[in-house]
Structure 1
Amino acid sequence: MSSAKQVVVIGAGIIGASIAWHLTKAGARVTVVSESGAGGVATPNSFAWINASWGNPEVYFRLRTRAMAEWKRLAKDVPGLPLAWCGGLCFDLPADRLEAYAAEHSSWGYGIERVGRERAGEIEPNLVELPDFAVYVPEEGVAEPVTTAKALLADAERLGARAMTGTVERLKFANGRVSGVVVAGETIDTDEVVVAAGTGTPAIAATAGIKLPLDTPPGLIVHSRPYRKLLNGLVHAEKLHMRQTAEGRIIAGSDFAGGDPGENPAATARELFTVTKAALRDADGLEFDFHTVGYRPIPVDGFPIISRAGGVGGLYITVMHSGITLAAAVGLFATREILEGERDALLTPYGLERFAQ
């Protein structure tokens, strides 16, 4: 490994922050460039659930469980990261589908507990409507997204990384490979470029002649004013997913990634908040504060792109929807591949080459 390798990371959301931290920790000379500064654009609009749940194939489940473990490792290396392994209570599927999910994931080693009404009430005593059947995964958690990204970037800067705010106009080439980035008309020369710019990734990749097949659906999430403790962990009820943040806000969406904002997002947000408040006991004083509409960067097959750009030297692409869950592992794996040429086997299905260019 060359301790003097220079790397520009484009993007300061949770993925860019993790990659920048891991690269700097491993001895690279890192410059982080972003339009919005620490926290990025998609990251602040995230529900921030760390999990390996839902209807994913086992190969993707394995990547996600590894990512959960890497978050615990990262929390030891960067004390004070706002992580909470608060558990997730799920009952937003019909009982037969919920049981099928529990059986499958249990056979894979996921720590699922099947619960009835009484146990659900012990887990979340402030729910008005308790389910007759739910599943509970105590090892699931959350990372307060912006605070976590800022903490990783701050520690990366302490270790020697440099952060700057600016718009990347294009990638620069020399001898058939990426050799730098052009920011506000000025060139930053580098050995490697990592693009972790969320929904902005396709435009940057296009300057290298790479077309990224990406969808960017919107997701609306409502945020209350800070309030006393009402929820212990994540709750996934039918068409209502909610949790309480470290500062006491109840955040909710009709889906964990946020629901369709409709033609009038403000009205949709008010309606959703009314439903959220009605779902909680002792919430008379709970007040609506604001809503966000985030645009999720989702490759068209639903799975991450984490790889070098084939045919373009010096360029590494990372774009995915599951950024909060995967960030710690992506940072570690991308660093090893960039600095040591070692690609982790868990990344095998997620190369850019799977899409016809």
Structure 2
Amino acid sequence: MPDQPHCLVIGAGIIGASIAWHLVRDGAHVTILDAGPGGGLATRHSWAWINASWGNPEAYFRLRRQSMQEWRRLAQEVPEISVNWSGGLLWDLPPERLESYASEHASWGYGIRLVDRVEARRIEPQLADPPARAIHVAEEGAVEPLAAAEALLHAAIARGAKFLPHREVTALDLVGARITGVSCGDDRVAADLIVLAAGAATDRLAMSAGIALPMSAPPGLLVVTKPAPPLLNGLVMAPELHIRQRVDGCLIAGSDFGGADPGTQPQAVAERILSAMRTLLQDGDSLAFDHYTVGYRPLPGDEFPAIGFSQAHDNLYLAVTHSGITLAPAIGAMAASEILRGDRHPLLTPYGPARFGA
């Protein structure tokens, strides 16, 4: 590969934008393609919780915790990124699981504590009925996802990256076992190395090069209110309702952080979520519905990231994951290091695409 390889990044959501930024920062010649205007599809419809929360094995916790730290580094390198380290209050688990979650993650070094009703009310005074027992993690936060992806994209362009929006990649171009570029309809873009970070379209494009990558793309519905006065200090994860207040005053919520299943009647689902938002908060009746969104979350077959070089094509790098907001800074830095210097970070060891035969 040339000393300054031409890297073609397919996808300008938070993962693709982060990889592109880190590649160009580290000296690569980068072109970014996106089927839309940039900012991705899953990214712009994300609840955007930055966390290393419950339900994951320790190896995945370590990767997520590293990426939480990387967000602080990235916000210094790209000052247009603003992370709100507001903390998270969670009680959407049975009491025994709350206890085990707190104990386990505390032993792993997470800044986690159990709180009672009095402390929960102090943390979030506008809760109509604070929980008797909850978890509080002060080090969790959120970003405005589209703004963060666009900031990374603009920073990469300022460093010399070329961005081609509204260029839908239809296939990866093969000559023998090597990918030489991509087709965008009748047009073709050549490159030394391809980074496939196309979110829910990743499996389809991988298949054009003969790679079967098991994936699903479950939908997630989020409700957005009109701007409201300050009602929440941080992220709130209540049973069947995850809610936060954006910097513009709008509240955004789903039945969990991934959003609700919209089913066949998304408006009815949105109305149920809005009703739950109003019930959760003391002044909730004043919340006015603005709109709902439905995003499709890229989810590899075992629900963990697929990050690394394809075993079928040595100049194809795959990067697809759920929790892209949490993981974007770490994946960007680690992918750039592996692509340009051959250094695979130990935290990525369990998450190579080879485990799927890809």
Contact 1:2–1:339, Cα closer than 8 Å, also in 2: no
Contact 1:10–1:34 (CA under 8 A) maintained in structure 2:
yes
Is 1:101 aligned with 2:128? no
User: Letter of the aligned partner of 2:12 in structure 1?
Assistant: A
1:249-288 correspondence runs (5 A): 249-288=250-289
Alignment partner, residue 221 of structure 1: 222
Secondary structure at the counterpart of residue 147 of structure 2: helix
The answer (yes or no) to whether the contact 2:172–2:208 under 8 Å persists in 1 is yes
Q: Find the counterpart in structure 2 of residue 82 from structure 1.
A: 82
Q: Which amino acid aligns with 1:37?
A: P
Aligned to 1:159: 159
- Matched residue type, 1:148: A
| Secondary structure of the structure 2 residue equivalent to 1:284 | helix
Q: CA deviation at 1:119?
A: 0.8
Consecutive unaligned residues of structure 2, counting only runs of 5 or more, are: none
Residue 135 of structure 2 aligns with an amino acid whose one-letter code is: V
Q: Give the Cα separation in 1 of the matches to 2:303 and 2:37.
A: 27
CA contact (8 A) 2:277 2:284 kept: no
Superposed CA offset, 1:46-91 (max 9, x none): 0100000011000110000001111111011011202111100001
The letter for the 2-side match of 1:317 is L
CA–CA distance in 1 between the matches of 2:129 and 2:323? 29
**Is residue 305–residue 322 contact of structure 2 (8 Å, CA) maintained in 1?**
yes
Give the residue type in structure 2 aligned to 1:94. Answer: P
Would the alpha carbon gap of residues 24 and 111 (structure 1) be closer, same or farther in structure 2, given more than 3 Å must change?
A: same
Q: Distance in 2 between matches of 1:7 and 1:294?
A: 28
Match of 2:50 in 1: 50
Q: How many residues align structurally?
A: 357
- Superposed displacement of residue 312, structure 1: 0.8
C-alpha displacement at 1:302, in angstroms? 1.1
Q: Which amino acid aligns with 1:164?
A: L
| Partners of 1:4 and 1:184 in 2: CA distance | 28
Q: Distance in 1 between matches of 2:129 and 2:289?
A: 21
* Matching residue of 2:169: 168
In structure 1, distance between residues paired with 2:197 and 2:30: 14
Matches within 5 A, 1:5-16: 5-16=5-16
Aligned residue type for 1:45: H
For residues 32 and 355 of structure 2, what CA distance do their matches in structure 1 show?
28
The answer on 1:30 being equivalent to 2:30 is: yes
Alpha-carbon offset, residue 288 of structure 1: 0.3
Partner of 1:115: 115
Q: What SS does the corresponding residue of 2:237 show, helix, strand or coil?
A: strand
Q: Which residue of 2 aligns with 1:20?
A: 20
Secondary structure of the structure 2 residue equivalent to 1:12: coil
Separation of aligned partners in 1, 2:250 and 2:82: 15
Cα pair 1:2 1:28 within 8 Å, conserved: no
CA distance in 1, matches of 2:115, 2:145: 29
Q: What do the CA deviations read for 1:8-59 (whole angstroms, capped 9, x no partner)?
A: 0000100001001000111111111001122111111101000000110001
Give the whole-Å Cα distance in 1 for the aligned partners of 2:219 and 2:188.
33
Cα distance between partner residues in 1 of 2:286 and 2:132: 28
For the Cα contact (< 8 Å) 1:3–1:26, is it kept in 2?
A: no
* Aligned residue number for residue 317 of structure 1: 318
DSSP 3-state at the match of 1:168: coil
Give how far 1:224 is off. Answer: 0.3
The alpha-carbon distance between structure 1 residues 120 and 227, as it changes in their structure 2 partners (threshold 3 A), is same
Between 275-284 and 231-240, report the one with greater CA deviation: 275-284
By how many angstroms is 1:3 displaced? 5.1
CA contact (8 A) 2:311 2:357 kept: no
Tell me by how many angstroms 1:274 deviates.
1.2
Distance in 2 (CA, whole Å) between partners of 1:182 and 1:149 is: 24
The aligned amino acid for 1:236 is M
Distance 2:267 2:40 in 1: 23
Amino acid at match of 1:74: L
Give distance in 1, aligned partners of 2:38 and 2:357.
Answer: 33
Say if 1:114 and 1:136, in contact at 8 Å, map to a contact too: yes
Match for residue 294 of structure 1?
295
